[in-house]
Structure 1
């Protein structure tokens, strides 16, 4: 993780910097807001900014927004700076860290604000096979396409591939193609020159250059516009990028990973994704199975999240009870690991007693997860299924003509012989109805007489 500390690097702020480095963060220092902005524009990106409350935090956040630089900001200051802390939060800072710093608080903020999760819990053979393939190809330079439903952990696997690669000590840069407006994504990826468009007040280095030497993750790449896909294809093929408004190409050395929750071959057939780009990205495909197909992972992940959120919320760890485990295993998890994580966070907070019981395994709207349907509804559904099965069995072995005749005569009987009404129900013309009835009468079948008020010229 890359941390940018803004302010005079002395005293307690220096201590916070050392604590962050002890936690594995790569730390860069800037003594002012202007220096911090120059650092970010130059391609020395950051996952998190920690800034002294004595500086103008509102100005920093406003200028970050103007230049379309998306980095969370955390304010730091002495515990006596209560007013400054409040003003920093109002200005847009995500958190306030009192100084002198606490090691656990620093660690929690680095994890929570930067949202960099490295947890990869694998117990199921289906997922283990994917992980083995990921480990096998991680050291290569091949582009990798990671596919799977939303919430299965595609970005987590991408970070794992980077950590196992020969580029592990270089930047890992992730871009969510679905979260950035189409008109801004080009600048976000390739950067821009000063004056290239309205609001481009200075040169900005894009994610391609920021990831130089390392790995660039294009998250949900299926959301990218076709025009931009063409520019991306050239960048991958030539290892050259063009900044928006730039006069000459810029060489880059990166490895591309991409994710999609759609089947890109289908998008190619629809004309929304370039086939040649798919071939470039899909040298190796890591397809993550949905959580419902990884039953052995469910409990392992549930235990991990239960422990994690007990610690985050300052609660005593609780084991997951036997019935709660059965509930977790029965659930379908359409939201996959992300849904399971939210469920266990909720369970940790609402569970009473010494363990997490079935009453704590709740849906987002507070209902018991996997609660049985009402008995009367179950009986109705069962009867309907039995009736449908009986009807199906009765049709087996009969000709279409026989089934059609019985349907027409039964409908006519239901309508008390009214030909017009029966024809409307069956969706046929009255002439077709009359011809069919004449045919049945000639074959010796009993045909109901016409209903009251209808002409008696048939059968």
Structure 2
């Protein structure tokens, strides 16, 4: 990951920089908040800023936001009391790191904002075939579309392809198209010229130029609006971009990888995604199977996450008990690898014996994971599932989709975010669907008090 350190490099901050570099960060340094904004404008990208809390953190964040620059900030300082640490957080910092620095704390903070060190863990033959295909096409310059449900590891696969490509020693830049508001995404991707909008006091280099020579990942590409899709298509075809407010094209040399948890062919039919852009992106498709489709990976991934979070928390890496393994393999994992990772993190913290027992493996709501069913119960469940599927016969796809969305939302007591994660769609897509149902007179479950995420 790329770390921009802002402040004077006295002894303690200099030591923190060395620890960050030892943890794998690529570190750049400036002394003032003005220099920090200038560096980000000029294309010296950063995934995180570590800022001396004696500087004007609120002013730095405001200056960046005025120019549509979005980089999270971690504050740091020597001898800070709780009041000053709280002031830094209220100013907009995500975390506070006290100095003298602690190597494990710095590594944990860097890990929290970076997926750089997530290896491809695969033992299931189905997943191994996907990795084999990825390795085969990685050295090419072809655009790649990575598809699959939410949480299957699409960004991990994109980083794997980049590391196997001829561009491995060049930048890997990721942009989440769903997380950035539509009015900011164009500037984020293509940059802008001075005076392009209120607050644009200087030229800003966008992600396309920042990634030049390397790989640009467009995560959740299906959430990009139609106007930007047209501009993206031109950039891919011509290998040049236009900054917002600019009058002169800028040549770029990048490889584009896109991801989607939606069926883009269906989105084309619905008129929400350009067919010509889909063809341009989908030169090679890597479909990542859900975790329930690759049962051979469940225990391998669980073991990997146990070791990872035991090390992160200074705990011994204990083996999983036989019953814990049975429950892991039997679970459906609607949240896929991301859900399994969170479950293993909790299990490492909750377990106190020589092994990680089944009671330590908890669902997101804190409930224990259900015991693995015996053969008779499994057959009964299969028959019930067949009966349910037969009940859908005669209904349109839209009717089945509506019932699935509303049933899932009811199951999540109205929580839009949880429902979207289970369904494998973005929160924006879910809210659009619910608005459509409400306007058609369909009753939509409201969030319960304290649950939040109202439509």
- TM bracket (short chain): 0.7 to 0.9
Which residue of 1 is the match for residue 137 of structure 2? Answer: 137
TM-aligned CA deviation for residue 63 of structure 1: 2.0
Aligned counterpart, 2:241: 241
Structure 1 counterpart SS, 2:131: helix
Give matches, 1:333-344, under 5 Å: 333-344=333-344
Q: Please give the alpha-carbon distance, in whole angstroms, between the structure 2 residues aligned to 1:219 and 1:113.
A: 16
Aligned to 2:418: none
Q: Does 1:36 pair with 2:40?
A: no
Greater Cα shift, 259-268 or 343-352: 343-352
- 1:203 aligns with 203
- Residue of structure 2 equivalent to 1:94: 94
Contact 1:173 1:207 in 2 (8 A): yes
Moved more, 68-77 or 111-120: 111-120
Map 1:299-310; keep pairs closer than 5 Å: 299-310=299-310
* Counterpart for residue 229 of structure 1: 229
- State the partner residue of 1:74: 74
Distance in 1 (CA, whole Å) between partners of 2:310 and 2:129 is: 31
Deviation at 1:150, TM superposition (A): 0.5
CA–CA distance in 2 between the matches of 1:127 and 1:159? 16
The corresponding residue for 2:23 is 23
User: For 1:232-311, what aligned pairs fall within 5 Å after superposition?
Assistant: 232-311=232-311
Taking the aligned partners of 2:70 and 2:229, their CA distance within structure 1 comes to 22
| Cα shift at 1:136 | 1.3
- The answer to whether the Cα contact below 8 Å between 2:330 and 2:372 also exists between their aligned partners in 1 is no
**SS state of the match for residue 9, structure 1?**
coil
Name the TM-score, length of structure 2 as normaliser.
0.79
**1:329, distance to aligned residue in structure 2 (A):** 0.4
Q: Is the 8 A contact 1:72 1:114 kept in 2?
A: no
Q: Is the 8 A contact 1:94 1:113 kept in 2?
A: no
Deviation at 1:31, TM superposition (A): 1.2
Within-5 A mapping of 1:47-446 = 47-79=47-79, 83-114=83-114, 116-371=116-371
Residues 350/10 of structure 1: CA separation in 2 closer, same or farther (3 Å cut): closer
C-alpha separation between the residues in 2 aligned to 1:338 and 1:115?
A: 12
Partners of 1:48 and 1:114 within 8 A in 2:
no
Return the alpha-carbon distance in structure 1 between the equivalents of residues 362 and 178 of structure 2: 30
Q: Distance in 2 between matches of 1:101 and 1:198?
A: 39
SS in 2 for 1:319: coil
Give the Cα separation in 2 of the matches to 1:182 and 1:106: 33
Q: Matches of 2:342 and 2:243 in 1, distance apart?
A: 40
- Provide closer, same or farther for how the CA distance between residues 7 and 366 of structure 1 changes in structure 2, counting only shifts above 3 A: closer
- Go from structure 1 to structure 2 and tell me whether the alpha carbon gap of 1:314 and 1:35 turns closer, same or farther (over 3 Å shift): same
Unaligned runs of 5+ in 2: 388-455
Q: Secondary structure at the match of 1:344?
A: helix
Structure of higher RCO (CA pairs closer than 8 Å, 6+ residues apart): 2
Q: Is the 8 A contact 1:208 1:254 kept in 2?
A: yes
Q: Aligned-pair distance for 1:243? A: 0.8
Contact 1:121 1:297 in 2 (8 A): yes
Task: Check the 8 A contact 1:291/1:333 in 2, yes or no.
Answer: yes
RMSD value, Cα: 2.1
Q: Secondary structure at the match of 2:311?
A: helix
Distance in 2 of aligned mates of 1:92 and 1:173: 24
8 A contact 2:115–2:156 mirrored in 1:
no
Output the CA distance in 1 between the equivalents of 2:106 and 2:21: 10
Distance in structure 1 (CA, Å) of the matches to 2:371 and 2:24 = 44
After superposition, give the CA deviation of every residue in 1:20-48 in whole Å (9 maximum; x if it has no partner): 22333222111100000000011111011
Structure of higher CA gyration radius: 1
CA distance in 1, matches of 2:122, 2:205: 37
Divergent runs of 4+, >6 A: none
Residue 279 of structure 1 deviates from its aligned partner by 1.2
Aligned counterparts of 1:140 and 1:10: Cα–Cα separation in 2: 45
For 1:103 and 1:368, how far apart are their aligned partners in 2?
Answer: 34
Q: Which moved more, 1:100-109 or 1:167-176?
A: 100-109
Residue pair 1:2, 1:27 contacting (<8 A) in 2 also? yes
Give TM-score scaled by structure 1 length: 0.78
- Answer whether contact 1:64 1:70 (CA < 8 A) is retained: yes
| Partner secondary structure for residue 8 of structure 1 | coil
Please tell me whether the aligned partners of residues 117 and 156 of structure 1 are also in contact (alpha carbons under 8 angstroms): no
Return the offset for 1:371: 4.5
Secondary structure at the counterpart of residue 356 of structure 1:
coil
Structure 1 Cα separation of the partners of residues 205 and 218 of structure 2: 17
The 1-side partners of 2:118 and 2:358 are apart by 29
